[in-house]
Amino acid sequence: MKSILTWGFSGAGIGATVGGGVVGFFTGMIGAPFGTIIGFITGFFCGAALALIFEGTPSVLTQGRAREFLIKMQEKHPDLDIRTIVDATEHPLVKKDCHVYMFKSDGVIKCTKKDVMSWLKSECWKKNP
């Protein structure tokens, strides 16, 4: 959400500046406020859309971010419980036969989104309560 608002307001600032300047130029500064408002609104929505494109789930996740991602996936997989998510993302491993590959980088426990999705698709978590 923070990222969407940041990108949205950045786009709004650019849109307001461009919209006010262009409309003001063509109307002798009479329409500048109207152009600013239109540019602000348009820029905000364009910026928010770009945030969703550029700042989706990153390819490398921290342990906490991976857990948050899997908790959101509970909507699609209601039989996936939190204890299983925590066990599968522990480092060092709790269950060696059904886990998400975790590694330490710069002192932070991380994994790849690909490994998280592979673990989820394998459905080994259904067999190992």
* Predicted model pTM: 0.56
pLDDT in tens, 18-66: 999 999 899 888 888 999 999 999 999 999 988 877 776 678 999 999 9
Residue with tokens 């522990």: 90
The pLDDT, as a whole number, for residue 128 is 55
Taking the C-alpha atoms of residue 18 and residue 43, their distance in angstroms, rounded to an integer, is 10
Chain CA centroid to CA 105, Å: 21
